[in-house]
Structure 1
Amino acid sequence: MLYIWPVVAGQAFSHPQPLHSLSAHQAAVKALAWCPWQRSILASGAGTSDRCIRFWNCNTGCCLSTIDTKSQVCGLQWSTTYRELISGHGSPNNQLIIWKYPSMTKVAELTGHKKRVLQLALCPDGSTVLSAGADETLRLWKCFVLDPAKKKKEIRDSKAAPSMFRGIR
C-alpha cells in the first residue's frame, strides 16, 4: 500500500487523511523513484509475490501502467540523460534491467550480483549507476553515458543558435 500525502510549504505534516491510497501492489513495496522530467510520475516496485513496476500519476492517484518484471523489484532509478529507468532485482536472476520509458521495452540486462540487489544510486553526472547487493558487493555500471555524436550535435546546435543579447550594449 502506498499513500500520497499533500505537501504544505513551510509546515510540518498536519493532514489526517492521504490524498490517494494506492493499493495495486500484491506484495511489499521495495522501491520508489520520482520521474525527473514529469514531476507527478512516481515509479514503484514490489516484492516476490507481485514482481511489478507500476507508474502512478500522483496528482490523480491513477496507475498509468504496469510491467511484470518476472522478479522481485528491489530498487529503481530514473536516468537523467535518457527516457529510461533502471530496476534492481532479486530472485531468480539478481540482475539490473534498463527499460525504455514509457514503452517499457528492455534496453539491457546487467548481471553480476550473486544475491539480490538491495539499493541503486545514480552518480551526480547521471552516467553511472551504483548497485549494492546482498552478496556484499558494490558494482558500478556505465548505463547512461551520453552518446558522443549526440553531445557533439548539442554543442554544434548551441553554437549555431544566435543569442538574443548579442547586439545589446
Structure 2
Amino acid sequence: MMRRYVCNLVWSKNVNELVSTHGYSQNQIIVWRYPTMSKLATLTGHTYRVLYLAISPDGQTIVTGAGDETLRFWNVFPSPKSQNTDSEIGASSFGRTTIR
C-alpha cells in the first residue's frame, strides 16, 4: 500500500485551486482544482520529504523546502488578469518551474 503523507496545504488567491506537499514515499507537490479535487499537475524534484511551503504575495509563485536541503520555486498559479488563459506545463530559467 502506498502512503501519501500531506505536509502542507496552500490555497490560490487567484483561482479555485490548491497545492499540497507530500513526504515519503513520493516527495512531491500536487496542484488540485477545487471543489472537484481533480489533479492538475504533479511537480517532482525533491529527493526527500517536502517540509515547507510558502506562497508569494502576488499569489503566483510557491517555494518549497525539503529535507534534501534545497529550495525550489514554482510558478504554479496564474495572475488575476490571466485567469482565462491556458498555457502548457514547462520549465523556465533560474530554477523556476512554470505549469501554465
Please confirm whether the aligned pair reaches a TM-score higher than 0.5, indicating the same fold.
yes
d(CA) in 2 for partners of 1:79 and 1:132? Answer: 19
| Displacement of 1:148 | 3.6
d(CA) in 2 for partners of 1:100 and 1:121? Answer: 18
Which residues of structure 2 form unaligned runs of 5+? 86-100
Q: Report the number of matched residues.
A: 83
> Who is 2:33 aligned against?
100
Pairing 1:79–2:15 present = no
d(CA) in 2 for partners of 1:82 and 1:149? Answer: 7
> Who is 2:23 aligned against?
90
Higher relative contact order (CA 8 A, sep 6+): 2
For 2:84, give the aligned amino acid: K
| Cα separation, partners in 2 of 1:117 and 1:149, compared to 1, 3 Å | closer
Matches within 5 A, 1:1-169: 70-146=3-79, 148=82, 150=84
d(CA) in 1 for partners of 2:62 and 2:76? Answer: 7
Which residues of structure 1 form unaligned runs of 5+? 1-50, 52-69, 152-169
For 1:114, give the aligned amino acid: T
Partners of 2:14 and 2:83 within 8 A in 1: no
Alignment identity in percent?
Answer: 47
Bigger Cα Rg: 1
Pairwise CA RMSD? 1.9
- The structure 1 segments of at least 4 consecutive aligned residues displaced by more than 6 Å after TM superposition are none
d(CA) in 1 for partners of 2:33 and 2:19? Answer: 9
Partners of 2:60 and 2:78 within 8 A in 1: yes
